[in-house]
Amino acid sequence: MKAFGKFLLSLLSENPVFGLYLGICSTLAITTSLDNALGMGISVLAILTVSNIIISAVRNITPDEIRIPVYIVIIATLVKSVELLIKAYAPALDQALGVFIPLIVVNCIILGRAEAFASKNGIGASALDGLTMGLAYTLSLVAMSSIRQILADGILSLNNPFNSQTIFSLPIIPAAYRIAIFKEPIGAFLTFALLAAAVQAIRNWQAKKEVK
């Protein structure tokens, strides 16, 4: 139980979105629904994990002078593969996410972990780092999209990305109490600010606890 607690704290203390403030543009743009959040989150998680593994495997044979271009080529290849798979098997998700799928190439989280961790550590550790950071990113998107969808639409729903059938739809807030502004860009900024403040408060509490 303690190990699980430490794992959860690490997801918060090293959270790429609310802790390191990386990948914010796509986070603000696509978190209008749980469908979009899970689609983008799982895509980034898969690309981040596989790119970490490949970059770790080739780190000893990659000259320092060209390491960044090599990383970008690896990441771009993986992103294009994921984009084609989404276009083929989940066209509704592809239409919803639009340009943000190919823009994963320039997501600071992926290139940042490649440079900061995968290029300096073994394959196993790099794979675990990719999974942890990818999961933290996905949970960040899910948290933001759930709050925005509930406040703006009054429901929390999830559709199957392969056939658009509804998996679940939970009415939570009556129509008279819904706040439509959370569907707009300003709603994304407000939600991000509140969650980032909450994560920072937890980090401060953890730091004080460690000092004691």
- What pLDDT shows up at residue 13? 65
List the chain domain ranges: 16-211
Reported confidence tier of residue 19, pLDDT bands at 50, 70, 90? confident
Give 153-202 pLDDT, tens digit per residue: 999 999 887 777 888 889 999 988 899 999 999 999 999 999 988 888 88
Picking from 12, 25, 38, 26, the residue whose alpha carbon sits closest to that of residue 146 is 38
DSSP secondary structure string for all residues of 6-24: HHHHHHHHT-TTTTS--SH
CA atoms within 13 A on the CB side of 208: 6
Percent residues over pLDDT 90 in the chain: 41
Q: Identify the weakest region by mean pLDDT among 17-21, 58-62, 65-69, 118-122.
A: 17-21
Please state the φ and ψ torsions of residue 166, each to the nearest 5 degrees: -75, 125
Distance CA 60, CA 37 (A): 35
Place of tokens 């460690």: 210
CA distances from 86 to 41, 61, 101, 208 (A): 13, 32, 9, 45
Measured at the alpha carbon of residue 14, what is the angle toward residues 10 and 65, in degrees to the nearest 5?
130
Q: Hey, is 101 helix, strand or coil?
A: coil
Q: Where are the alpha helices (DSSP H) in the chain?
A: 2-13, 24-30, 34-58, 67-89, 91-97, 108-113, 123-153, 185-211
Picking from 96, 71, 72, 76, the residue whose alpha carbon sits closest to that of residue 86 is 96
Residue 170 is given by DSSP the state E
Give 55-90 pLDDT, tens digit per residue: 999 998 888 888 899 999 999 999 999 999 999 888
Compute, in degrees rounded to 10, the torsion defined by CA atoms 132, 184, 169, 199.
30
